[in-house]
Structure 1
């Protein structure tokens, strides 16, 4: 009788350990207790320009980034604040920049440009989108390079997407800057 009881106790303990491990790996609740802070500067091409002989800088190149579109984040599944900007750098690269950004930390967060409006259905964000890569941090200023050949201004919003649970944490409608 005691042997059966010990077997059931060990079996129950093993099941609890497996459930705890699966929960920690899949849901990652521990991320609720810490933040990933990022403070990236705006990319510059100063190093490339300084490598050119003096007086040979291109007169048509703008001195700084040109703002193509901007938007303010709205909260979706989690409180999200900040600004998203689409910027063209003097060297022609296009980036999406988050400023004053803050959201909850979570598992497998990515940044997308989407044709869905920020307040649209979650199911529509992944209908037509461009993946800009993993979210670098849930707090702070950060930059995401838009792949060559992608017209960032043809997208309606930028989205922080949880790939694990297929929900948006927050999104910002991109309004062209005139």
Structure 2
């Protein structure tokens, strides 16, 4: 009897160890806890200002006037799932294209973070954590860094007037790290 119990115990212990190791491996892959201690700073300049000059037949009495980025809307980031701060701007460039610009961003790093342009209202506290995938949104790509200033180009077919907020969205856990309501300039 003792020998039979020992024979059953060894495979059971091995099975439990295999499941535990697989569970820890999956947990590490899924949650990526080391990212909480890894900061990635990205400092991008706003695209350059383009200057225009007077036509060759006219006499220019004033210097060239800058034609450049125009801020259409802006807002301050508020914290949701993680402490988040910084400014978000919706900017129209001289060529007519648009970018979402984050300035002085400071948030936690995490797995699968995205920048979303959305039509959802920005709500304080836990009630605002999960609203951004309820309506219309456009993913502008992966968050380039959890600190710094960075630009995200809007696709040409996106009408920026239809969107009212920006969220730093964790796609893996369907939660907002932080968001900003865009107030029109």
Q: TM-score, normalised by structure 2?
A: 0.81
Q: In the alignment, is residue 140 of structure 1 matched against residue 148 of structure 2? A: yes
CA deviations over 1:70-125 (Å, ceiling 9, x no partner): 10000011100000001111111100000000111111111111111111644431
Contact persistence 1:80–1:101 (CA under 8 A): yes
Equivalent residue of 1:124, what SS? Answer: coil
Name the CA distance, whole Å, in 2 between partners of 1:86 and 1:71.
9
* Residue number in structure 2 paired with 1:151: 159
Q: In the alignment, is residue 176 of structure 1 matched against residue 184 of structure 2? A: yes
- Show structure 1 runs of 4+ deviating over 6 A: none
* Residue number in structure 2 paired with 1:103: 107
CA deviations over 1:11-65 (Å, ceiling 9, x no partner): 222112101111011111121121121111112376xx8xxxx96xxxxx95221
Match of 1:124 among 122, 128, 131: 131
* Residue number in structure 2 paired with 1:93: 97
Q: TM-score, normalised by structure 1?
A: 0.84
Question: What pairs with 1:29-108 in structure 2 (closer than 5 Å)?
Answer: 29-44=33-48, 62-108=66-112
Contact persistence 2:76–2:88 (CA under 8 A): yes
Give unmatched runs, 5+ long, in structure 1: 56-60
Between Structure 1 and Structure 2, how many residues are aligned? 167
Name the CA distance, whole Å, in 1 between partners of 2:48 and 2:21.
50
Name the CA distance, whole Å, in 2 between partners of 1:31 and 1:87.
30
Give unmatched runs, 5+ long, in structure 2: 57-64
- The higher radius of gyration belongs to 2
Equivalent residue of 2:77, what SS? Answer: strand
Contact persistence 1:88–1:94 (CA under 8 A): yes
CA deviations over 1:122-155 (Å, ceiling 9, x no partner): 4431211111111111111110001113221331
Aligned-residue Cα RMSD (Å) equals 2.3
